[in-house]
Amino acid sequence: MEFNIALLRGDGIGPEIVDSAVEVLKKTAEKFGHKFNFTPYLIGGAAIDETGVPLPQETIDGCLASDSVLLGSVGGPKWDSQPPANRPEKGLLGIRAALELFTNLRPAKLYPTLKDASPLRSDIAENGFDIMIVRELTGGIYFGERGRREGKYGEEAYDTECYSRMEIERIAKVAFETAMKRNKNIISIDKSNVLESSRLWREVVHEMAKDYPEVTLTDMLVDNAAMQLVKNPAQFDVVVTSNMFGDILSDEASQITGSIGMLPSASLGATTRGMYEPIHGSAPDIAGQNVANPIATILSASMMLKFSFNLTAEADAIDAAVDKFLEQGYRTADLVGSTGVKPLSTTEVTAKILELL
């Protein structure tokens, strides 16, 4: 099969890690008989330097014309003095909006070989975990009506959590479809003991569950979920939740894996086109030194194959190569800790993973 992939390398370590993932995608295409065409576009600080704006129209058009988008990261101290409307992050928010990406998929997996990196107590980390957080990305309180007004106690500010049946249905559908490809287990997180928007959330998710009789659905209140994530993370398979709860819980989940350089993400809309990116930032402190861990971006590319191109065997092959890389004891600088292992450079990691593919 043939696919067109837009590359948004961005800033800092972005170009190094995207180039690494492209090598892995090329090798996968060769191995399985596919053709991937790559076209780079500017975003973030790099785009400001070249064109004056963080998201040139050419980038939007190119991404819309592609089958999927692979992003590195944006931002860095060089552009910190830009006015708020022209900061590199505006490019990121702009491209998410232009591609109408309403779902954020964030896996948080504790690799058995990296258990020591987790801040969890060893008897909890021992059980490992592999969670897929499905977060609603374009609704809820971050996009609801807000403002300032005179209230009972003087000046007050308000934000509104609002969800429509349609918005809940479409994110729930993604969660159920995702669960069908995994262990068929969903925990839906809300605050239905207090919030009306959560009561509608729960109602709609349960209605949708009728279409997926094989999936086990459990409800959990968000305060309990925050505790359960550190107490017994192994109980979670797929988590579906609103924009704000997902924002907070997905950061908590990523932290308990202990390895920011390992975690990929996907943002999806109504079409198969998605945007795939590591969860970490542009790491300006190590940019250009060939020491960044490219695995989060390589795993983001694997998610692209699975979720946008339906190439599951190909994605599994990449994931297996990463597993073998870790099992064989290879490490990047961010994973070495106090092990005394000599870390591999970005290009050495890439070469090793290509060899293991």
Instruction: Kindly state the smallest distance separating residue 120's Cβ from ligand NAD, in Å.
Output: 19
Instruction: Kindly state the smallest distance separating residue 266's Cβ from ligand NAD, in Å.
Output: 13
Looking at the Cβ atoms of 20 and 241, the one nearer to ligand NAD is: 20
Task: Spell out, one character per residue from 256 to 285, where the chain touches ligand NAD: x when CB under 6 A holds, - when not.
Answer: ----xx---------------x--xxxxxx
* Binding of ligand NAD by 73 (CB under 6 A): yes
Scan residues 87-146 and list those touching ligand NAD (CB under 6 A). Answer: 89, 92
Give the Å distances, CA to CA, from 99 to 12, 56, 138, 241, 269. Answer: 24, 14, 11, 21, 7
The interface region with ligand NAD, picked from 98-106, 130-138, 245-253, 290-298 by CB under 6 A, is: 290-298
Q: Which of 67, 167, 314, 334 binds ligand NAD (CB under 6 A)?
A: 334
CB 331 within 8 A of CB 352: no
How far apart (Å, rounded) are the C-alpha atoms in residues 258 and 176?
28
Catalytic residue among 27, 90, 191, 306: 191
Nearest to residue 246, comparing CAs of 329, 185, 190, 313? Answer: 190
* Binding of ligand NAD by 15 (CB under 6 A): no
* Binding of ligand NAD by 286 (CB under 6 A): yes
How far apart (Å, rounded) are the C-alpha atoms in residues 44 and 277?
14
* Binding of ligand NAD by 198 (CB under 6 A): no
Looking at the Cβ atoms of 9 and 27, the one nearer to ligand NAD is: 9
Angle at CA of residue 176, ends 276 and 94, nearest 5°:
30
Residue nearest to ligand NAD (CB): 281
Q: Annotated catalytic, 159?
A: no
Q: Annotated catalytic, 219?
A: no
Angle at CA of residue 188, ends 185 and 194, nearest 5°:
155
Q: Annotated catalytic, 130?
A: no
Q: Annotated catalytic, 247?
A: yes
Looking at the Cβ atoms of 108 and 208, the one nearer to ligand NAD is: 108
Q: Fill in the amino acid letter for 303.
A: M
Q: Annotated catalytic, 158?
A: no
How far apart (Å, rounded) are the C-alpha atoms in residues 245 and 243?
6
Looking at the Cβ atoms of 286 and 354, the one nearer to ligand NAD is: 286
Instruction: Kindly state the smallest distance separating residue 244's Cβ from ligand NAD, in Å.
Output: 18
Q: Say which residues have a Cβ less than 8 Å from residue 172's Cβ, sequence separation at least 6.
A: 188, 204, 205, 208, 240
Hey, what are 265's tokens?
């993400």
* Binding of ligand NAD by 74 (CB under 6 A): yes
Torsion of CA 246, 252, 257, 263, to 10 degrees: 40
* Binding of ligand NAD by 16 (CB under 6 A): no
Instruction: Kindly state the smallest distance separating residue 341's Cβ from ligand NAD, in Å.
Output: 15
The interface region with ligand NAD, picked from 98-106, 179-187, 211-219, 286-294 by CB under 6 A, is: 286-294
Q: Fill in the amino acid letter for 12.
A: G
Radius of gyration of the chain (CA): 21
Nearest to residue 272, comparing CAs of 34, 42, 100, 149? Answer: 100
* Binding of ligand NAD by 40 (CB under 6 A): no
Residue given tokens 């021992």 in the structure block: 126
Contacts with ligand NAD by CB under 6 A lie at 13, 73-76, 89, 92, 260-261, 277, 280-286, 292-293, 296, 334
